[in-house]
Structure 1
């Protein structure tokens, strides 16, 4: 489905959150930056850990197995994406947008889908599974146009 005029476009990953408005129409997309935010990625996973991974004792015998380490960097990225979902929820409840297009890499898109409010879900017209947060606006526009044209039914 083509992206209508005034549709909100979210481009998000574990570090950046970009909001655009389509100032064009369904035939000619024209994204304008509305809001953006970037997470401070100064903490590395090793800086966040304070101890070695835990171990558990086997209930039978004397065996021990180590537990999987928590990936704090991934947790930070997931929380950042959930923050984007919360931002969308606030905007949807204020009727800030009627149509939404989401562009995010696979992992971020999965976290975002789980965190979306029902009011936001109703307004999603397009989701694109691709990392685009570091790309210029014309590249994002071209991707959206190519993805929405590909999903249109072919003329008979």
Structure 2
């Protein structure tokens, strides 16, 4: 079970969406408040690169999802390196989580207190809070 400090960030990600939440409660009393995400760059095409689709290459939609995950990692890396966040929990669809991990900066890895391999982007804040407690 993860007890997040006040101000900790929770990122909920899938291949197309990012939701950021800040803990406005104290440790042991989780209260997530949604935060603005800003723009996510998909210029970094992730591990797939820009290739025509074939059986040997990921589909265009998979490349787009990988690029989105790389863009999310870039946003999280910048937030954490800026020093305004002490703790981070990432909840992501399993494949997206794998792609995110490829792009973690060492600063992000050091402040990462939990990962949940689950797609919760369309779920309520209560469901997300339960997942954080279970992390």
Q: Displacement of 1:69 after TM fit?
A: 4.8
- Please list every run of 5 or more consecutive structure 1 residues that lacks an aligned counterpart in the other structure: 40-50, 54-66, 149-156
Matches within 5 A, 1:41-120: 53=54, 67-120=55-108
Q: Is the 8 A contact 1:13 1:108 kept in 2?
A: yes
Contact 2:6 2:24 in 1 (8 A): yes
Match of 1:26 in 2: 27
Question: Highest CA radius of gyration, 1 or 2?
Answer: 1
Alpha-carbon contact 1:17-1:37 (below 8 Å) kept:
no
Q: CA deviation at 1:138?
A: 1.2
Segments of 4+ in structure 1 off by > 3 A?
A: 36-39
Q: Is the 8 A contact 1:132 1:140 kept in 2?
A: yes
> Whose strand fraction is larger, Structure 1's or Structure 2's?
1
Whole-Å separation in 1 of the counterparts to 2:16 and 2:34: 17
Q: 1:70, CA displacement in angstroms?
A: 3.7
CA RMSD for the aligned pairs? 2.0
TM-score, normalised by the number of residues in structure 1: 0.72
